[in-house]
Amino acid sequence: MILEQIIQAVRECGEMILKADRTQAATEIKDGQSNNLVTKYDKAVQEALREKLLAIAPQAHFVGEEEDVHESIARGDAFIVDPIDGTTNFVKDYKCSAISVAMTHNGGQEIGVVYNPYLDEMFYAQRGKGAFCNGKPIHVSDKPLKQGLTLFGSASYYRELADESFRLLRLCFDHSMDIRRSGSAAIDLCTIAAGRAELYFELRLQPWDYAAGSLIVREAGGSVTRVEGGDIDLTKACSVLATGTGADPAFLRA
């Protein structure tokens, strides 16, 4: 079955991250931004995934982070891949990064797989079939935000959003028990899906950051929208807000 094959491919690539010789992880900067890093391991994991995933579904488009070709996902099958979500964590040896693979059909999410090799946690979901971590069903939290945690991403590649990010973060801080910042959007979304936190937001993410994790949240019973309302868009960057069933994010839009 295709889901199991994708999980196997992702697990094998997780080994590449764990075995990486970080002394060899010389970094390049992306898009001329000194805080947007890419290492030879991002590229190597992406190439390994390309080979393995296209062997599973040769007809699919492959949309990966470490390349500038964003083929249309509107028609047919596509893989949307982040080889190392949390590249800065990887470079810093912070041990909080994940491989994220989504499979779409005619633009709709069919499969999402997010693997955190450091904790050996494999999150996955298939449209209409629920969400799982290491074989066990997962569900979002039903707690109100007052009894919950807010996760956020600082959209650090888009410094012009910093004032608004931190204004919203302050509101979240006032409405929840505390805040957390992991450095991996894919892991944040899975943390919401697993009911370990109640609300996550980031003002700008790329589709490969959220394509898999957002399906996992929805299949775990949660909600994923843009921060300003409306559906997320898998074809371009957008804001992302994910919540469990008990957290009311209305205060963010007031």
Binding site for ligand IPD (CB under 6 A): 65, 82, 85-88, 153-156, 183-185, 202, 205, 209
Which C-beta is closer to ligand IPD: that of 143 or that of 152? Answer: 152
| Distance in Å, CB of 157 to ligand IPD, minimum | 6
Residue 215 to residues 110, 171, 180, 221, Cα–Cα distance (Å): 8, 26, 22, 10
Which C-beta is closer to ligand IPD: that of 74 or that of 162? Answer: 162
Distance, CA of 133 to CA of 124 (rounded, Å): 7
- 67, with CB counted inside 10 A (0-12, 13-18, 19+), is middle
Which C-beta is closer to ligand IPD: that of 36 or that of 245? Answer: 36
The dihedral region occupied by 218, where left means phi > 0, alpha psi between -120 and 50, and beta the remainder, is: alpha
Which C-beta is closer to ligand IPD: that of 7 or that of 187? Answer: 187
Structure tokens at 131: 């969400």
Which C-beta is closer to ligand IPD: that of 32 or that of 135? Answer: 32
Element (H, E) at 84: strand 77-85
Which C-beta is closer to ligand IPD: that of 29 or that of 55? Answer: 29
The residue count of the chain comes to: 254
List, in sequence order, every residue forming a beta bridge with 200; answer none if it has no partner.
151, 242
| Distance in Å, CB of 225 to ligand IPD, minimum | 17
| Distance in Å, CB of 202 to ligand IPD, minimum | 6
| Distance in Å, CB of 211 to ligand IPD, minimum | 12
Q: Cα-Cα-Cα-Cα dihedral of 55, 57, 62, 64, to 10°? A: -70
| Distance in Å, CB of 185 to ligand IPD, minimum | 3
| Distance in Å, CB of 206 to ligand IPD, minimum | 6
Specify the 3-state DSSP secondary structure of 243.
Answer: strand
The dihedral through the CA atoms of 212, 234, 93, 53 has a sign that is positive
